[in-house]
A and B are shown apart, each in its own frame.
Chain A
Amino acid sequence: MAQLNVNGRVVDVDVEPDTPLLWALRDNLGLTGTKYGCGIAQCGACTVHIDGAAMRSCAVTVKDAAGKKVTTIEGLAPDGRLHKVQQAWIEAQVPQCGYCQTGMIMAVAALLESKPKPSDADIDAAITNICRCGTYARVRKAIHRAAQA
């Protein structure tokens, strides 16, 4: 049994302490917006915020997440409202299949917290998520749009 703080709530999860946070979120807490893509910190589909920083939840154990504030896509904007990154994503019509997009959005939201007006080079360095559908051009456009918002 481990205790997590997810989206502002403290919850108990019945998992081994070395379980990746990703699976505790998906299977124990039903927070399926966080996606499994590779399981080895390569793709970013599982990106969440841990104490505000973008982290790949497949590579963070429940033990390491305990005592920290975890935010998932479901908790990015309170009360079902849209975060400015989500808004920009709709305006730029970014998603295709959408599977990578929640991780992408979480990575971008964290980037904009630390760098409100990122340059293209900042974006290249920070956003390393894989999108197999190839939405990168729109991702870049939408990041700049969100930075203006």
Chain B
Amino acid sequence: MNAIMPKLSRRVFVVTAAAAGGGFALGFHVPGALRTAHASAKGPEVTAWVVIEPDDTVTIRVARSEMGQGTLTGLCQLVAEELECDWSKVKAEFASTNENIKRKRVWGTMATGGSRGIRDSQTYVRQAGAAAREMLVAAAAARWKVAASECEAQKSLVMHKPSGPTLRYGELAGDAAKLEPPKSVKLKDPKDWKVAGKAVPRLDIPDKVMGRPVFAIDTRLPNMAYAAVKHCPVFGGKAGSVDEAAIKDMKGVLKVVHLGNAVAVVADSYWRAKQAVEKLPVTWAETEKNAKVSSASIREFLKSGLGAENIPLARNDGDAKAELAKAAKIIEAEYEAPFQNHAPMEPQNCTASVTADRVDIWVPTQNSEASAAAAASASGIPLDKIEVHKTMLGGGFGRRGAFQEPVREAVLIAKAAGRPVQLIWSREEDMQHGRYRPVSMSRQRAALAADGLPVAWTFRLSGHSIMASVRPDSIKNGVDLHFLAGLYDGTYAVPNFELSYAMRNTHVPVGFWRAVNSNQNAFYRECFVDELAHAAGQDPYQYRRKMLQHEKGRRDLAVLDAAAKKAEWEKPPAAGVHRGIAVYASYGSYAAGVVEIAMDGGEVKLRRVVIALDSGHVASPDGVVAQIEGSVVWALSATLFGEITIRDGRVEQSNFHDYPMLRLDRMPVVEAVLVPSGGFWGGAGEPAVPPVAPALVNAVFAATGRRIRSLPLTRHGLVKA
């Protein structure tokens, strides 16, 4: 079994097998999957990515995070493919963040987001596998004193072809490791792949079904205490006076730590810490301005952006305004989408151990280098003395990359407490102090030509820019293209098209929420296109086809056709069944969806969702199917119920009872159609999300004749939470 088996690491606190076997963990353990490179694989490092033990076990190092998206397995498949090793002997381990910093980033970036885990690193990890293979072959050739060209590697063996002897990789690794890596290597054509591109069991699943401690929140260190935290409920506020005396006699309470915008209590168990922090009287210092903000005031603020003058244009083909001025009939609609929270099942947490000259942290992170930087700045200890112990993430979805507040807090708390501390944000803190998907609004106006297709279209967005706070330098000439994902580079052929964005930043922190701005943008565009098709009296599938009849639109067209075919769009649906369709390109891939619903007493019942995806190449097909299934659920939760609202400057929702999730009973049939067309590497974790909301909302129109222009559907009485 290719499990990532826990094993003794250099910092040996535990043997996790005890926990797996039904007994009790021996008091201390560190998550099994956090074996970092310097602490674990002992055999010779053939390349930085590949360690081979004498018994032929191949340890492949993974620099990206595993948050459920299957990247760990997919990357290993790519390395193993070029390495020509026996897949059953492959293990994975996370590369050490500390060594990456010291070794001039030999493993490249460790950030994991934007559906980039595989597509951005596939070239160099495949090259690393190929280089290791060539070095093993060269080592064998040297031993046999023959030409390397006479030798061939296969299934962890090198064979001298003319005479037939073989050497195992385990026998060659030591010699190979001493060789200079080749300057250039030739990669296989994906059509020759044997391991990559095939459905293989994921490496991380056995540990996960056994309940082994693979998550950061499972970390148990000697002398470790626990911390619970509460943040100023109004964003931007600070903790004022704190009445520590009120809790000092509570059992197990050790310390109160001030964190600026938050206060933490350290205790000997998490439950005691949580009880105490809830009881702790804190006077918050918040600005009056922020404390007055509500969802209604935010809505007015955004609305002012829809008609604002002198907004720079992100795209301006032809002269849409002039054409609209001439048009006899204009179709116009305003759409809006609310804030959303990530709410990963593993709440924000970080365990920190801080000594005078070293910091160790265990954290679910999508960017361990950013975590290390946050730990360094919070502790004042240099970056090369920080180790981030990477663990499996209990979901990420964009919450745990650019924003590292739990790391900062845990380090400060552990430093103040003088012992290792595990900080856990309660679900309520996680819900009310997120980095939300931005609120946004749009106004579209279009005129149709005689053939029914749009001749002119203006598209104005208004809303909160993520880049304005995260990467302001990416905003050029006042245009934030990131906010316009999928629109400024959209492929529909419209002769006169104008796109603009009025930035309206609120006091609510925003961030990258799986599929980010493509969520809202797909909802706006693809529902509006449905309105246009309806106005033109045309079938919404055929209408889209007509707008994609050009070279740039060929991949969108192909996925649209694939989804329609699978869903049998050309046949009328069964009685009582209604359908909607949508297409959207994001994260380097192309996706289209068909959603089938039925109505039951005025309520939407989900029946079936078909998604076609062209991601170019596919490293791990079953992993991509799983990502499509997960993307559909993600989008459905948001479309049906998801809404973070603001009142008195703070988030109103607090837990899953008022921020509900799709559950099994409403789960539709999901059919994933993979149509990789080759020649490029697109993402897989996000692109299936954007088409779902518009396809569903278009199905609601087909069923009811109602145009739903704001989400979620619970707002419209179409779904009961």
Contacts and interface: CB of A to CB of B under 8 A. Distances in A.
A138 B22 CA distance: 26
A32 B213 contact: yes
Interface string A58-102: 000000000000001111111110100010011001111111111
A136 to B, nearest CB: 4
Nearest to B431: A38
Interface string A125-138: 10111111111111
Contact of B27 (A6, A30, A42, A136): A30
Nearest to A86: B209
A137 B269 contact: no
A33 B664 contact: no
B211 A72 contact: yes
Contacts of B392: 97-98
Given A80-B20, A96-B626, A98-B204, A132 B209 contact: no
B208 A74 contact: no
Contacts of B670: 137
B209 A137 contact: no
Interface stretch (B105-113, B162-170, B292-300, B344-352): B344-352
A112 interface: no
Contacts, number: 215
Given A95-B209, A101-B209, A125-B665, A134 B629 contact: yes
Interface residues of B, number: 71
B270 A134 contact: no
A124 to B, nearest CB: 4
Contacts of B26: 30
B395 A134 contact: no
Contacts of B345: 35, 37, 43, 45, 97, 99-100, 130-133
Contacts of B205: 89-90, 93-95, 98
Interface stretch (B62-70, B132-140, B536-544, B596-604): B62-70
A1 B190 CA distance: 62
A124 B631 CA distance: 21
Contacts of B667: 136-137, 140
Given A19-B271, A30-B25, A124-B665, A134 B633 contact: yes
A130 B656 contact: yes
A138 B665 CA distance: 13
Contacts of B208: 95, 98, 101-102
Contacts of A123: 664
Contact of B202 (A32, A75, A93): A93
Contacts of B251: 16
Nearest to A121: B665
A98 B427 CA distance: 18
Nearest to B211: A33
Contacts of B239: none
B353 to A, nearest CB: 17
A82 B271 CA distance: 31
Nearest to A77: B22
Contact of B68 (A15, A97, A138): A97
B591 to A, nearest CB: 16
A128 B656 contact: no
Nearest to B26: A30
A75 B22 contact: yes
A135 B656 contact: no
B19 A74 contact: yes
Interface in B117-153: none
A5 to B, nearest CB: 13
Q: A-side binding surface: helix, strand, loop or mixed?
A: loop
A138 B626 contact: yes
A36 B69 contact: no
A139 B622 contact: no
Given A31-B25, A97-B393, A90 B206 contact: yes
B68 A31 contact: no
B626 A9 contact: no
Interface string B660-680: 011111010110000000000
Interface centre among A11, A79, A82, A99 (most CB of B within 10 A): A99
Nearest to A75: B22
A71 to B, nearest CB: 9
A3 interface: no
A38 B21 contact: no
B714 interface: no
A102 B217 CA distance: 14
Contacts of A52: none
Contacts of A72: 211
Given A39-B426, A97-B394, A132-B661, A30 B29 contact: yes
A-B interface, 4 closest residue pairs, ranked by CB to CB distance from nearest: A33-B211, A134-B633, A97-B68, A99-B394
Interface of A: 6-9, 11, 15-16, 19-20, 23, 26-40, 42-43, 45, 72-80, 82, 86, 89-90, 93-102, 105, 123-125, 127-140
13 contacts: A11-B24, A27-B271, A32-B213, A35-B215, A39-B427, A80-B210, A95-B204, A99-B215, A131-B345, A132-B345, A133-B345, A134-B630, A135-B630
Given A16-B251, A82-B210, 4 more contacts: A37-B427, A74-B22, A98-B394, A99-B344
